[in-house]
Chains A and B, each alone.
Chain A
Amino acid sequence: MTLSDASIAKLAAQLAGKQVSSRELAQTYLERINALNPAINAFITVDAEKTLTEAAAADARIAAGQAGPLTGVPVAHKDIFCTDGWPTTCGSKMLHNFVAPYDAHVIQRFKAAGMPSLGKTNMDEFAMGSSNETSYYGAVKNPWNLDYVPGGSSGGAAACIAARMAPAATGTDTGGSIRQPAALCGITGLKPTYGLVSRYGMIAFASSLDQAGPMAPSAEDCALLLNVMTGFDPNDSTSLEREKEDYTRDLDTPLAGLRIGLPREFFAAGLNNEVATAVEAAVAELKKLGATTVQISLANSQLAIPVYYVLAPAEASSNLSRFDGVRYGYRAPEYTDLNDMYAKTRAQGFGAEVKRRIMIGAYVLSHGYYDAYYLQAQKIRRLIADDFSAAFQTCDLILGPTAPGTAFKLGEKSDDPVEMYLNDLYTIPANLAGLPGMSLPCGFDSKGLPIGLQLVGDYFSEAKMLNVAHQYQRVTDWHSRQPEGLK
């Protein structure tokens, strides 16, 4: 077993036992990034000198006996997190020249934990996309087949884990942006309950839905990362004040008595057969471990996509109004007056999908349309959340596919926004309700592309979800398989 195959827990143990230094670890991953990233394009910024300086500081902490549980383990950050002194582009020309003057709360937490950054990962522009093709820095390729997309928007994060260019990565999820790329790249990713992870310094897309979370090969890895990422932050007005949890505490709990809810709407028309078969096989495996299943209905989940494509663009049109060429980021080189400067800066600085969503948002919020669109969408959002509350009366967790299919070819859906949006059919409902959701690998299709299954839990049930995922991963090896031909 090579170093880059080891789990985070193993790496942490080797660091603590002084069998490996953080610098050696960082070097190992930087070499893999050097070798593999030109073909995969998972990273926007790599800065070996900065990484090695942070790793040396981690080694000093370990030597001084001041290490935390994960000190020295390197991690890759989605380029949506402001990182002091690093370029932070959000995948956009608009922020091509933007070097953040402060750290996002999530970055502060990883720094406090002594975990060096391996670089900033590629993403759909402003996290708007499901294929990582809208990035100004070019599409990310799926490590399982370079002709296919890795999913999005955290496509760089998912691809860098799948190719073992990093042992862990951060992602963000507004409508499925952690879970869908995790599914398409064969890794594990978790979107926590809304409010558990601070949004401070995380470039905003749709603030009532955005939530950061961990991405890694296994559920155990994600539990350890979640321990680092969560916690109250007064700088985020929606950050929740609750007692700190240890998300690894239930990993080894047996599953006897677990009630899994299977929403009939998630297994209906539109679901790829091979995905359905793999998810059903996973359910059978969980039953062997002592779980029982119950049929449930999330009747209004069918409306999640239309609701999302009102609410998310509305919030985005407001959030992205800050990009006006005045205080930071791109400014058009030529203009006649102030309004012309705004309009040209935004026309040149934003890509097509971002402009499309800003325009949808501007329209649904405009005079005379607010009640028909925005208010109606907010009411249906309530119905969708109520469906979940009712379902959790009869089950402990909800299980279904993460995405309706496996990875699709680069360019296959990029000309048809609606076709692209349908990829997030099963992931969006959890964002609208603010519930935690995760994706874990459960098989491969006939083309050798990974299949993901999704767990959605009640508010604050992350430890339970990680428990179920970990127990499943103890008896299966989908999560530890790696793409051939990359090493």
Chain B
Amino acid sequence: MSLTQDDVKRIASLARIEIDDAQAQAAQAQLNSIFDLIATMQAVDTSGIAPMAHAQEVYQRLRDDVVTESDRHAAFQAIAPAVENGLYLVPKVIE
């Protein structure tokens, strides 16, 4: 398999990364060499093998439904790019 330049641009758009033609061209060659490396695993017969998502068999712990955190929103919002009245500011989404 080989990615086209349009594929590269589509992937960049899925990843929300702006990319111009020159960058897409450079990325295309590098991504294709990486996917050539990845392709070596396609030949392995894995029928009947259970996928391994995690190194340890862990289960989500439950805890009592009580407040454990203090209110630190001022500290957390102090490092945000744009904040007003306790709200994160972003460009207008709905006209």
Q: Indicate whether B85 reaches chain A with its CB closer than 8 angstroms.
A: no
* Pair B11/A362 contact, Cβ less than 8 Å: yes
Cβ-defined partner of A378 (8 Å) among B14, B34, B52, B88: B52
CB nearest to A208 among chain B residues: B54
B 11-31 contacts with A by CB, 8 A: 11-19, 27, 30-31
B73 CB to nearest chain A CB (Å): 10
Bound form: Cα–Cα A432–B56 in Å = 11
Task: Please give me the residue from chain A that is nearest to B58 by CB atom.
Answer: A238
Closest to B78 in A: A101
- Measured between beta carbons, the chain A residues less than 8 angstroms from B82 are 331
Closest CB of chain B to A309's CB: distance in Å? Answer: 6
List A325-341 residues whose CB lies under 8 Å from chain B: 325-331, 335-341
Residues of B contacting A: mostly:
loop
One digit per residue, 1 when the CB lies within 8 angstroms of any chain A CB and 0 when it does not, for chain B 38-57 equals: 11111010100111111110
Contact B41 A343 (CB under 8 A): no
Q: Is residue A356 within 8 Å, beta carbon to beta carbon, of the partner chain?
A: yes
Which of A237, A321, A421 is B60 in contact with, Cβ under 8 Å?
A: A237
Q: Are B80 and A326 in contact (CB under 8 A)?
A: yes
Q: Is B79 engaged at the interface, CB distance under 8 Å to the other chain?
A: yes
Q: Which residue of A lies closest to B63 (CB)?
A: A234
Q: Are A326 and B88 touching (Cβ within 8 A)?
A: yes
Knowing A101-B72, A303-B40, A303-B44, say if A359 contacts B15 (CB, 8 Å): yes
Q: Which of A46-54, A258-266, A344-352 contacts B (4 or more CB under 8 A)?
A: A344-352
- With A238-B54, A337-B91, A376-B42 already in contact, the answer to whether A328 and B79 are too (CB < 8 A) is yes
Within 8 A of B (CB), among A368-407: 372-373, 375-383, 385
In the bound complex, CA of A335 to CA of B89 (Å): 14
Question: Which listed residue, A335, A336, A383, touches B49 by the CB 8 Å rule?
Answer: A383
Partner of A421, one of B37, B72, B92: B37
Q: Could you tell me if B88 and A327 are in contact, using CB atoms closer than 8 angstroms?
A: yes
- B67 neighbours in A (Cβ, 8 Å): none
Binding site for A on B (CB under 8 A): 3, 8, 11-19, 27, 30-31, 33-42, 44, 46, 49-56, 58, 60-61, 63, 72, 75-76, 78-82, 88, 90-93
| Contacts from A to B (Cβ < 8 Å) | 97-99, 101, 194-195, 208-209, 234, 237-238, 240, 300, 303, 305-307, 309-310, 317, 321, 324-331, 335-344, 346-347, 350, 355-356, 358-363, 366, 372-373, 375-383, 385, 416-418, 421, 432-435
